[in-house]
């Protein structure tokens, strides 16, 4: 499993009789930006907390960077940066002072380079100008940025980010997405938990989709798109005859509406569909093939809508 930065087998978490995470088998390739996607309440954050050793799983096993957890926590966690469920800081200390305290608590960090690393982390997340301000005066977006800076105080092989753009304005959101891309280009693996399809589309190479505690899909994003079904739409005044022709050609989920017929294309070639309609004397006023968007793919997997904004 060394080719995976994150790997789990049967990872499960129960709270009493409630199953929050149900037998999840994650496989996050090294160097990937892995979008961990699902509606709110689907089990993403609970899974992340188990991966990082913040809570113990009820059953199952997992590894980070090839090390079994929690046995290898002391070895592997210094190589992992994380932002989970909104960072907590000392409100009456400045952003810079909070980072100093966090850095001092890291036994693997070199005190001699602390200030240089803190400066670099603050600059990378755009907080240099407000580093001396007390955190109690920070906005939610600024706190998120400070949490990212904390995760970047030292070079990390794996970054686990839970909703990192929460509370950010559009400009801040774009900057964080650019930062994620840059970190991946530098060789880090990023596990990005989000409910925003825009984040997945813009930065992710792989995706895992959660639904009610279960991992219902996991694949490279390009493959998930390829496996999505295309739907043919025929505009005609003879909808009944058109529907019959589509069914004879093997199209499924054929339905009729006002002046149109639609069906899942499957293996049928679009040009053969049009030819068969014309041969059957069906007047074709328009013919289109619509490949489903990413939103359609995920709604089909989860049965729920996603926030496509951001």
Domains of the chain: 4-226 (3.40.50.300), 229-291 (3.30.70.980)
What is the pairing mode between strands 231-235 and 189-194? unpaired
Share of the chain above pLDDT 90, in %: 59
Give the DSSP H/E element, type plus range, for residue 13: strand 4-15
Q: Quick one: pLDDT band at residue 305, thresholds 50, 70, 90? A: low
Q: Please state the rounded mean pLDDT for residues 13-42.
A: 92
Q: Please give the backbone phi and psi of residue 65, each rounded to the nearest 5 degrees, phi first.
A: 50, 40
Asked if the model's pLDDT at residue 295 lies above 50, the reply is: yes
Q: Please state the rounded mean pLDDT for residues 34-61.
A: 92
Q: Which long-range contacts (CB under 8 A, 24 or more apart) does 88-94 make?
A: 89/135, 89/143, 89/146, 90/135, 91/134, 91/135, 91/136, 92/134, 92/135, 92/136, 93/134, 93/135, 94/131, 94/132, 94/133, 94/134, 94/135
Share of the chain above pLDDT 70, in %: 93
Give the C-alpha separation, 296 to 168, whole Å: 26
DSSP at 265? -
Q: CA angle at residue 98 from 86 to 115, to 5 degrees?
A: 125
Q: Please state the rounded mean pLDDT for residues 91-111.
A: 92
Q: Measured over all CA atoms, what is the biggest interatomic distance in the chain, rounded to whole angstroms? A: 82
pLDDT tens digits along 113-156: 999 999 999 998 999 999 999 999 998 888 888 999 999 998 89
Asked if the model's pLDDT at residue 221 lies above 60, the reply is: yes
Asked if the model's pLDDT at residue 182 lies above 80, the reply is: yes
* 3-state DSSP assignment of residue 263: strand
């Amino acid at each position: 499993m060394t080719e995976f930065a994150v790997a789990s087998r049967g990872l499960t978490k129960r709270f009493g009789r409630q199953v929050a995470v149900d037998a999840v088998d994650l496989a996050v390739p090294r160097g990937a930006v892995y979008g961990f996607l699902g509606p709110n309440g689907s089990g993403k954050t609970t899974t992340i907390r188990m991966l990082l050793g913040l809570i113990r799983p009820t059953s199952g096993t997992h590894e980070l960077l090839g090390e079994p957890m929690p046995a290898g926590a002391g070895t592997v966690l210094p190589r992992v940066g994380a932002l989970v469920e909104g960072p907590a800081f000392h409100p009456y200390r400045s952003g810079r002072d909070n980072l100093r305290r966090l850095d001092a608590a890291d036994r693997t960090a070199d005190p001699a380079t602390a200030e240089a690393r803190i400066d670099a982390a603050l600059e990378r997340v755009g907080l240099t100008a407000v580093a001396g301000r007390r955190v109690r005066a920070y906005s939610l977006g600024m706190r998120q940025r400070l949490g990212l800076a904390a995760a970047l105080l030292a070079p990390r092989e794996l970054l686990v980010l839970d909703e990192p753009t929460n509370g950010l304005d559009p400009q801040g959101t774009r900057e964080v997405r650019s930062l994620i891309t840059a970190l991946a280009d530098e060789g880090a693996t990023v596990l990005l938990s989000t409910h925003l399809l825009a984040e997945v589309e813009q930065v992710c190479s792989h995706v895992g989709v959660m639904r009610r505690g279960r991992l219902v899909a996991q694949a490279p994003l390009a493959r998930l798109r390829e496996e999505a079904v295309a739907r043919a739409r025929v505009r005609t005044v003879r909808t009944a005859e058109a529907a019959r022709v589509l069914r004879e050609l093997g199209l499924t989920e054929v339905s009729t509406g006002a002046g149109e017929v639609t069906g899942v294309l499957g293996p049928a070639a679009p040009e053969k569909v049009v030819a068969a309609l014309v041969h059957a004397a069906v007047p074709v006023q328009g013919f289109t093939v619509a490949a489903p968007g990413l939103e359609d793919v995920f709604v089909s997997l989860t049965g729920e809508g996603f926030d496509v904004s951001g």
